[in-house]
Amino acid sequence: MNWRTTLLLALIAVVITPLSYRAVRDARPSYVVGDARPFSFAIPAVVSLEIARGEQTIRIEKSAVGWDITAPVRDRGRYASIEDLLLLLRDLEIRGEGPDDLKESGLETPHIVVTVESPSREYRLELGSDHPSLPRVHARVGDRPVLIAAEIRDALRDFDLDELRDDAVCGASPGRVERVLLERPGQPSLELVRAGVHWQLVAPFTADANPDGVEQWLTRIAQWAAVDYIDPPFEKPLGLEAPRAKLTVQLKDGSVKTVEVGARYTSKISQTVAVRCSGRDSPLVAAGVMAQELIEFDESLLVSPYLVRIDQPRIRALSLTDGAHGKVDLEVDSAGGWRMRWGGDRTAVPADAALVERWSERLRQLRVTDRQPIDRSSLQLWGFDRPLLRVVLVTEDGDPEEMMFGAEVPEGSGVRYAWNLRQESVAQVRVDDIDQLVNAPFSLRDPRVTSMPVGELLRFRITTAAGEALLAQPNQTWRCQGKEQVDLPQPDVRWIARTLSQLVATSWAPEDPTAPGPQQYLLKAELFGLTGAEPQVTIYLGEKEVDGDRRARIDDWVFSLASSDGPDLVNFCDQFLQQLQQQ
């Protein structure tokens, strides 16, 4: 290239560049930085939103509980989608100024008109044609022609009305529900009522509800969503004039929601049904799985698997009545063990703490295998006219749970009818070894007849046919009062003292005239405290039984002592007294 050509090209560039810049500058929008966002409304303050798109006008109004669509249909609005639409409008930015000629910008007859109303003012947006060379759309904010991003026009033009409609069939969160009623033709009604923090089944029979089962069921109902909407005119029968199931949900604020399940409805998703919801003009198309669950729902899935409902971690008292030996009361003592009173006695005796704790835990976790409504006029059907046992459990809060055990279930080995008197239903429970409770107090008394620590028994008297002796240990040496000069065999006396302070019964038994007592005994042992002239404990030992155990008595309680591999206590004491008398 020679120098003349280079000079010519340079001159052409100098002339064309300013002309090109001017042309582009005229085509570009002029930005108005200070007024780029014309809509300054606060979303909570908006009372209505109207979008006119050709022949369709969508109007949405704020209600006390959310948003309501009032045109072209009346329906509940979907909160999140409507809020997103308002955010889109509030954050709209002006991308340039438009021409004043409305015909040129397509605003003479706007394609879309949006009106947002708040208590203080009205915001209006009109959308016209596309800009010929930029991704902008001609618009008018109030009376001002502007350019905005085409994406906003696309969003307002392309969304479907159904996207703004609430898709929740019921939409009641489990925490807000107070009562649930399920009605189905030809089936008993199912009714649940919230009682404080618990759920109670009141129909078809009364029973404690399973909180986890109720929560899961209500969650599935709350998540039940519509897949389509049926607006009139209806092209096919919907089956809602005679619904297959009707669900009524009452909320804590007193409001009530109902859902009626109609016939199967063919839609874009398989196995759907028509449903009608309260507060909505148009029926919905919903998933048939949840609808079928309502139609076929088994109330046993909501029943608590336990006979009683106790929230406290420990039972503090039990009362047993109608057993073999009258009323027995047990309560936790200050040391954490259990004390027992029989037949109204004021004096309490120690109970077998491990056994009572085990039974209290078993009773609170007693699982039900089946339930049925109870007929109070026919209690004999289950053996409740003459119950085997009544049990009352009391917690630290003092709220008692009373249950009654009746007859055995026919052909149900170990299964027995039980009735929680707070409910109107009979339960079947498996409760092995219930005879331990029926035979109280003898089956529940602490087997330890005496339980003194080694070395604590310092004075006792023994009496047999060979005589009697009051033995004491004043200074680490056992002496016989009245015969202090006699040198006693210390190992023998220590063995007797240790055995008497650690007596353990193999079993306790009811009163028996043939049992040993003040008038008939082989050995009488009186155990004294550190002070006092009267014995604290008096024990009478009698003959051996067929099984080798020796019968005995302490106060009004009869018990048996097992034979041991070592010396026999009665014979040993008798021989000791014989030797003492000879000295």
State pLDDT tens for residues 358-386.
999 999 999 999 988 899 999 999 999 99
For residue 266, pLDDT over 90 is answered with no
Nearest to 286 by CA among 263, 253, 257: 263
- 208: domain CATH number is 2.60.40
Per-residue pLDDT at 18? 53
Pair type for strands 537-544 and 207-208: unpaired
Residue 141's SS3 state is strand
Partners of 526 in beta bridges: 461, 538
* Cα 223 versus chain centre, distance: 20
Residue 421 sits in the same domain as residue 473: no
Domain coverage including residue 416: 315-438
Residue 6 lies in a domain: no
499 falls within a domain: yes
Q: Is residue 478 situated within a structural domain?
A: yes
- From 438, 473, 499, the end of a domain falls on 438
State the chain's mean pLDDT as an integer: 89
Kindly state whether residues 283 and 207 are assigned to the same domain. Answer: yes
* Residues 98, 200 share a domain: no
Report whether pLDDT(38) > 50: yes
Separation CA 301–CA 182 (nearest Å):
14
Instruction: Note whether residue 309 is domain-resident.
Output: no
pLDDT > 70: what percent of the chain?
94
Measured from the Cβ of residue 209, the count of other Cβ atoms closer than 10 Å reads 24
Instruction: Sort strands 315-321 and 284-287 into parallel, antiparallel or unpaired.
Output: unpaired
Q: Which of 113, 144, 164 is the last residue of a domain?
A: 164
Torsion over CA: 301, 306, 308, 311 (sign): negative
What was the pLDDT predicted at 15?
A: 56
- Tell me whether residue 569 is in a domain: yes
- The reported pLDDT for the residue numbered 7 is 58
Q: How confident is the model at residue 107 (pLDDT cuts 50, 70, 90)?
A: very high
Q: Are strands 537-544 and 467-472 parallel, antiparallel or unpaired?
A: unpaired
pLDDT of residue 10: 63
- Asked whether residue 88 falls in the same domain as residue 191, the answer is no
Residue 73, pLDDT > 80, answer yes
Are residues 426 and 374 in contact, defined by beta-carbon separation less than 8 angstroms? Answer: yes
The three-class DSSP label of residue 131 is coil
User: What percentage of the chain reaches a pLDDT higher than 90?
Assistant: 67
Same domain, 255 and 368: no
Lowest-confidence region among 264-273, 347-356, 375-384: 264-273
406 and 463 housed in the same domain: no
The pLDDT value recorded for residue 23 is: 44
Same domain? 234 vs 153: no
pLDDT of amino acid 52: 96
CA distance 532 to 534: 6
Q: CB-based burial of residue 98 (10 Å sphere; 0-12 exposed, 13-18 middle, 19+ buried)?
A: buried
Whether residues 548 and 476 fall in one domain: yes
Task: Locate 549 and state its tokens.
Answer: 């155990």
At residue 17, the pLDDT reads 58
Separation of alpha carbons 481 and 459, rounded Å: 10
Q: How many domains does the chain have?
A: 4
List the beta bridge partners of residue 80. none
Mean pLDDT of the region 568-580: 94
| Arithmetic mean of pLDDT, 254-279 | 90
As a whole number of angstroms, the distance between CA 32 and CA 153 comes to 20
Tokens of 480: 């016989």
**Does residue 156 sit in the same domain as residue 179?**
no
Instruction: Reply yes or no on whether the pLDDT at 322 is more than 50.
Output: yes
Give the model's pLDDT for residue 269: 80
Neighbours of 72 (CB within 10 A): 13
Q: Count CA within 13 A, CB hemisphere, residue 112.
A: 20
Query: Is 391 within the bounds of a domain?
Result: yes
What is the mean predicted confidence (pLDDT) over 401-429? 91
- Asked if residue 258 has pLDDT above 90, the reply is yes
Query: b/e map of 179-206 (b: 16 or more CB within 10 Å)?
Result: bbbbbbeeeeebbbbbeeeebbbbbbbb
Query: What pLDDT shows up at residue 232?
Result: 81
Looking at the domain assignment, is residue 446 inside a domain?
Answer: no
Single pTM value for the model: 0.72
Whether residues 211 and 180 share a domain: the answer is yes
468 plus 499 within the same structural domain: yes
Residue 34 has pLDDT above 60, yes or no: no
Give, in order, the Cα–Cα distances in Å from 211 to each of 128, 200, 216, 231, 394.
58, 9, 9, 38, 22
Please report, for residues 79, 97, 199, the alpha-carbon distance to residue 370 in angstroms, rounded to integers and kept in the order given: 44, 77, 19
Residue 337: what residue type? G
For 354, other C-beta atoms within 10 Å of its C-beta total 11
Residue 335 located in a structural domain: yes
pLDDT at position 77: 92
Please, which pLDDT band fits residue 28 given cuts at 50, 70 and 90? very low
What is the reported pLDDT for 344? 74
Q: Comparing 497 with 583, which gets the higher pLDDT?
A: 497
- Statement to judge: residues 159 and 282 lie in one domain: no
3-state secondary structure of 320: strand
Domain boundary residue, one of 164, 185, 207 = 164
Taking residues 452-468, what's their average pLDDT?
89
Residue 212 neighbours by CB distance under 10 Å:
10
